[in-house]
Structure 1
Amino acid sequence: LYALYVEYNKQSVPPKSDIPLIKKALKEKDASLQILNEKGDILASIRMSKEKTRYDPLEIISRKIEQDKYDSTATVFHDPKKKISWVFYTPNNYHSITDESIIRKAWMISIIVAVSVLIATIAFSIWNAFRYGGPLLLFTSWLGRMGSGNYSEVLTEKERKRVFRKNGKVRLQYRLYSEVITAFYEMAEQLSLAEKERKQLETTREEWMTGISHDLRTPLSTIQGYGHMLESGHYNWNEEELKEIGQTLRDKSEYMVELVEDFSLAFKLKNNVVVLETKKVDVHQLLQHIVLKFVNDRTIENVHFSYVPAHLQPFIQADPRWFERMLDNLIFNAIKHNPKNTTITISTAIKSDRVLITIQDDGIGMDEETQKNLFDRYYRGTNTTEKTEGAGLGMSIAKAICELHKGHIKVRSTLHEGTAIILHLPLSADQQPD
Structure 2
Amino acid sequence: MKNRWKSNPLVRIVVLLFALVLTGVALGIGMFYYAFAIPEPEGLSLAVWPNRFTENFSTWIENKDGAITVKNIGLERLDEYGLWLQIIDESGREVFSHNKPANYPSNYSTSDLLELAASEYENGNTVFVSNYKKSDHTWNYIIGFPYAIGKYMLYYNGETVSRLSPMFRMVIFFIFFIGITLFLIYGFWLTQQMGKISKGIGAISLRTYQKLPEKGIFNGIYAALNKMEAEIRQSDQLKKETDRARQEWITNITHDLKTPLSPIKGYAELLACGTTNNSLTVQEYGSIILKNVDYVEKLINDLKLTYQLESGAMPFHPEQVRLVRYLKELIIDIANDPTFSNHNIEFECETPEITVSIDPYLFYRAVCNLVVNALVHNPPDTTVTVSISNKGKNVCLSVRDNGIGISETEQAELFTRYYRGTNTKEKPEGSGLGLAIAKQIVLLHNGEITVKSHPGAGTVFSIVLPTN
User: Are residues 126 and 322 of structure 1, via their aligned partners in 2, closer, same or farther at CA, if it must alter by over 3 Å?
Assistant: closer
Q: Decide which moves more: 376-385 or 328-337.
A: 376-385
Q: How does 1:95-244 map to 2 (within 5 A)?
A: 118=177, 121-122=180-181, 124-130=183-189, 132-150=190-208, 153-155=210-212, 160=213, 170=215, 174-175=216-217, 177-233=218-274, 235-244=275-284
Query: Aligned to 2:383, which of 343, 356, 361?
Result: 343
In structure 1, give the amino acid aligned to 2:415: F
SS of match in other structure, 2:288: helix
In structure 2, give the amino acid aligned to 1:181: Y
Q: Which residue of 1 aligns with 2:303?
A: 263
Tell me the CA shift for residue 108 of structure 1.
8.8
Q: Which residue of 1 aligns with 2:393?
A: 353
Tell me the CA shift for residue 145 of structure 1.
2.5
Tell me the CA shift for residue 149 of structure 1.
1.6
Query: Would you say the 8 A contact 1:378–1:391 is kept in 2?
Result: no
Q: Which residue of 1 aligns with 2:343?
A: 303
Q: Which runs of 4+ in 1 moved over 4 A?
A: 93-98, 105-121
Q: How far, CA to CA, are the matches of 1:94 and 1:189 in structure 2?
A: 71
TM-score when normalising by structure 2: 0.59
SS of match in other structure, 2:420: coil
Identity among equivalent positions (%) equals: 31
Q: How far, CA to CA, are the matches of 2:425 and 2:304 in structure 1?
A: 29
Q: How far, CA to CA, are the matches of 1:118 and 1:148 in structure 2?
A: 43
Structure whose alpha-carbon radius of gyration is higher = 1
Tell me the CA shift for residue 410 of structure 1.
1.8
Q: Decide which moves more: 219-228 or 107-116.
A: 107-116
The number of equivalent residue pairs is 312
Tell me the CA shift for residue 369 of structure 1.
3.4
Q: Which residue of 2 aligns with 1:274?
A: 314
Query: Would you say the 8 A contact 2:302–2:433 is kept in 1?
Result: yes
Query: What per-residue deviation string (whole Å, max 9, x for no partner) do you get for residues 128-151 of structure 1?
Result: 423x13422432442242122246
Tell me the CA shift for residue 123 of structure 1.
5.2
Q: Which residue of 1 aligns with 2:358?
A: 318
Query: What per-residue deviation string (whole Å, max 9, x for no partner) do you get for residues 213-262 of structure 1?
Result: 111111111111112223345x4352222111110101111111111212
RMSD: 3.1
Query: What per-residue deviation string (whole Å, max 9, x for no partner) do you get for residues 374-410 of structure 1?
Result: 2232322355744333322211222222233343222
TM-score when normalising by structure 1: 0.63
Query: Aligned to 1:253, which of 293, 299, 308?
Result: 293
User: Are residues 150 and 315 of structure 1, via their aligned partners in 2, closer, same or farther at CA, if it must alter by over 3 Å?
Assistant: same
In structure 1, give the amino acid aligned to 2:413: N
In structure 1, give the amino acid aligned to 2:362: W
Query: What per-residue deviation string (whole Å, max 9, x for no partner) do you get for residues 187-223 of structure 1?
Result: 2232222212221221122122112211111111111
Query: Would you say the 8 A contact 1:314–1:350 is kept in 2?
Result: no
Q: How far, CA to CA, are the matches of 1:265 and 1:202 in structure 2?
A: 21
SS of match in other structure, 2:314: coil
Q: How far, CA to CA, are the matches of 1:346 and 1:370 in structure 2?
A: 22
Query: Would you say the 8 A contact 1:409–1:424 is kept in 2?
Result: yes
Gaps of 5+ in 1: 1-92, 164-169, 430-434
In structure 2, give the amino acid aligned to 1:145: A
Q: Decide which moves more: 324-333 or 188-197.
A: 188-197
Gaps of 5+ in 2: 1-156
Q: How far, CA to CA, are the matches of 2:430 and 2:239 in structure 1?
A: 23
Q: How far, CA to CA, are the matches of 1:97 and 1:350 in structure 2?
A: 93
Q: How does 1:375-414 map to 2 (within 5 A)?
A: 375-382=415-422, 385-414=425-454
User: Are residues 149 and 107 of structure 1, via their aligned partners in 2, closer, same or farther at CA, if it must alter by over 3 Å?
Assistant: same
Query: Would you say the 8 A contact 1:268–1:274 is kept in 2?
Result: yes
Query: What per-residue deviation string (whole Å, max 9, x for no partner) do you get for residues 6-35 of structure 1?
Result: xxxxxxxxxxxxxxxxxxxxxxxxxxxxxx
